[in-house]
């Protein structure tokens, strides 16, 4: 036992938002905490989602014992189907988290192979050398937990995502008592959420949005459409309760909104009064001041329900002058253009769109601000500290918040990046090398889904410089060109009337390349394509300084 080492390996979620996944290894036993995804930025053209590279875990799959989930947000569970298709181990999580995972597994048609095991706060389980206790935390999604993991080298606390909400709408308080008990007994390592480390003070309670929602639903003269993250069950509950109070019926619109409310209601996490729900198809026939629409699409995703409503392209719901639309969510960085374009469309239709910062608030964060992070640090008083879940600026701010604990037993703080290994043993803790990490780009419209770097590079290339296609008809026997080559372009130059001088000269360049090639070269399609590509590229760069994608096509005649 004295020679045991614990390796902590963040494979995603440090130095970036999303894609949270961390492995803990002790000898020949590995447990994995969360398996999240992230949404692509503008650079990743045509990519739907981004998942972590699991190479390290796949190489050591015989040692992986379990996947443990802290909560059900996509940045913590979105990669579970891809994880289980590579490494099929038991998955532990709360009932709500696993129900969300189950829907994703059914979409990928691998539910039957998965072994999902439900846990509750205060439950303890033993996996190899790890004893894990689940601790209830407050967050913007229900049934979120932190993990207290007892290992041969001491206790590791992993907070998951959290805020310290003193007045949660379900009255389920953050279990600070259990956290403090571990702190008294001694904690070797704390891994803690850093998302709002750069925000001073405290995050507002979920109850803080109630006055704004109440005002909207009681005073708006017509229809009220409220869009929030479908996983925000506390927010949905408040909208349903306040709608009933204001004499309004509620319609649920959007696939994710319907799916998640069904799951939450079936688990007893969402109370829906009898008779309050109406079908989306009935919304436009009802008195406008007697209906609330809970609709998905807060981030302006082009095919989401609210985005379709904004351009009058939804089969059941339309926005009319005087209607109110409230975005009860934050604007995720990178989505600004989509969201503001959608808001413009809604305003053009005469809607009063409410969004952004206001008092009282329409949205509150689910992550703790600096004073809440400091509270958790003070309760746990770890020997070593690793900030997680955030970009580098948040991690470094969180590290500075912990400096005051130097006199209370904190020996060192490690600001890590994905793939770096932290090694702990009886002698202390240190960074110890690197494992392979990266991003896997998934395009759900392609045959094998995974998009290689070269494909993304080509997509970017096409968007910037276009494509040029020389079409060459050659005799399969002599290799000679039967006619003058054609040159077609898209996104490069206009050639609608066939009069482009550049493309006319390009045809001559291709013809000269064919004439100067030997018969063997002309009958070898691979060789002649490369010669045509090289000569045409040289000509186009010289004439235009642009580098379109050149794809020669050889037709045998």
**Residues taking part in catalysis:** 193, 367
Residues 258-275: b if buried by 16+ CB within 10 A, e if exposed:
bbbbebbeeeebbebeee
Show the tokens assigned to 551: 């794809």
Rounded CA gap, 19 and 34, in Å?
9
Show the tokens assigned to 538: 């040289």
Contact 388, 10 (CB under 8 A): yes
Q: What sign does the dihedral 354-360-362-364 (CA atoms) show?
A: positive
Close Cβ partners of 542 (under 8 Å, ≥ 6 residues apart): none
| 306 phi/psi in degrees, rounded to 5 | -70, -35
- The CA-atom distances, in angstroms, between 326 and each of 23, 188, 243 are 40, 45, 14
Query: DSSP of 169-213, one letter per residue?
Result: TT-----HHHHHHHHHH--SEEEEE-TTTTS-S-PPPGGGGHHHH
Rounded CA gap, 117 and 378, in Å?
33
DSSP-assigned letter for residue 144: E
Burial bucket for residue 110 (CB in 10 Å: 0-12, 13-18, 19+): middle
> Beta strand 6-12 with 21-26: parallel, antiparallel or unpaired?
antiparallel
Rounded CA gap, 154 and 151, in Å?
5
Please tell me whether residue 9 adopts helix, strand or coil conformation.
Answer: strand
Rounded CA gap, 144 and 532, in Å?
60
Query: DSSP of 492-545, one letter per residue?
Result: S---TTS--HHHHHHHHHHHHHHHTS-HHHHH-HHHHHHHHHHHHHHHHHHHHS
Contact 360, 209 (CB under 8 A): yes
| Count of all residues that appear for the chain in the document | 557
Contact 77, 106 (CB under 8 A): no
């Amino acid at each position: 036992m004295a020679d045991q080492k614990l390796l902590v390996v963040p494979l995603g979620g440090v130095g970036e938002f999303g894609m949270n996944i961390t492995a803990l290894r002790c000898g020949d036993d590995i447990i994995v905490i969360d398996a999240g995804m992230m949404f692509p930025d503008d650079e990743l053209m045509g990519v739907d989602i981004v998942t972590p590279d699991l190479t390290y875990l796949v190489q050591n799959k015989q040692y992986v014992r379990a996947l443990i989930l802290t909560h059900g947000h996509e940045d913590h569970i979105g990669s579970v189907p891809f994880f289980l298709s590579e490494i099929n181990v038991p998955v532990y999580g709360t009932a709500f988290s696993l129900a969300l995972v189950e829907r994703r597994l059914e979409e990928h048609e691998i539910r039957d192979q998965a072994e999902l095991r439900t846990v509750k706060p205060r439950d303890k389980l033993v996996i190899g050398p790890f004893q894990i206790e689940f601790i209830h935390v407050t967050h913007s999604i229900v049934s979120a937990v932190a993990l207290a993991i007892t290992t041969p080298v001491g206790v590791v606390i992993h907070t998951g995502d959290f805020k310290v909400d003193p007045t949660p709408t379900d009255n389920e308080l953050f279990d600070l008592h259990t956290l403090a008990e571990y702190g008294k007994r001694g904690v070797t390592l704390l891994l803690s959420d850093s998302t709002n480390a750069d925000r001073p003070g405290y995050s507002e309670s979920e109850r803080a949005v109630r006055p704004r929602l109440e005002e909207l639903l009681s005073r708006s003269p017509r229809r009220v459409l409220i869009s929030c993250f479908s996983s925000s069950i506390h927010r949905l509950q408040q909208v349903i309760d306040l709608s009933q109070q204001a004499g309004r019926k509620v319609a649920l619109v959007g696939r994710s909104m319907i799916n998640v409310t069904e799951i939450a209601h079936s688990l007893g996490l969402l109370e829906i009064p009898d008779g309050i729900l109406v079908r989306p198809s009935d919304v436009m026939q009802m008195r406008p001041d007697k209906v609330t629409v809970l609709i998905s699409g807060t981030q302006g995703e082009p095919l989401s329900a609210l985005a379709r409503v904004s351009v009058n392209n939804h089969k059941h719901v339309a926005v009319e002058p005087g209607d109110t639309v409230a975005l009860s969510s934050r604007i995720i960085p990178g989505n600004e253009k989509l969201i503001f374009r959608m808001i413009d469309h809604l305003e053009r239709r005469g809607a009063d769109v409410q969004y952004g910062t206001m008092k009282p608030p329409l949205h509150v964060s689910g992550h703790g601000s600096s004073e809440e992070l400091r509270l958790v640090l003070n309760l746990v008083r770890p020997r070593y500290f690793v900030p997680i879940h955030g970009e580098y600026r948040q991690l470094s701010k969180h590290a500075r918040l912990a400096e005051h604990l130097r006199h209370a037993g904190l020996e060192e703080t490690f600001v890590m990046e994905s793939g770096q290994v932290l090694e702990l043993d009886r002698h202390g803790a240190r960074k110890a090398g690197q494992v392979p990490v990266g991003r896997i780009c998934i395009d759900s419209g392609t045959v094998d889904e995974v998009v290689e770097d070269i494909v993304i590079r080509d997509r970017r290339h096409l968007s910037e410089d276009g494509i040029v296609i020389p079409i060459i008809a050659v005799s399969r026997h002599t290799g000679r060109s039967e006619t003058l080559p054609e040159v077609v372009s898209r996104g490069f130059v206009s050639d609608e009337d066939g009069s482009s001088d550049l493309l006319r000269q390009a045809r001559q360049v291709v013809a000269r390349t064919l004439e100067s090639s030997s018969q063997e070269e002309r009958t070898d399609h691979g060789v002649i394509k490369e010669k045509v590509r090289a000569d045409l590229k040289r000509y186009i760069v010289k004439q235009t300084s642009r580098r379109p994608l050149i794809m020669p096509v050889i037709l045998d005649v």
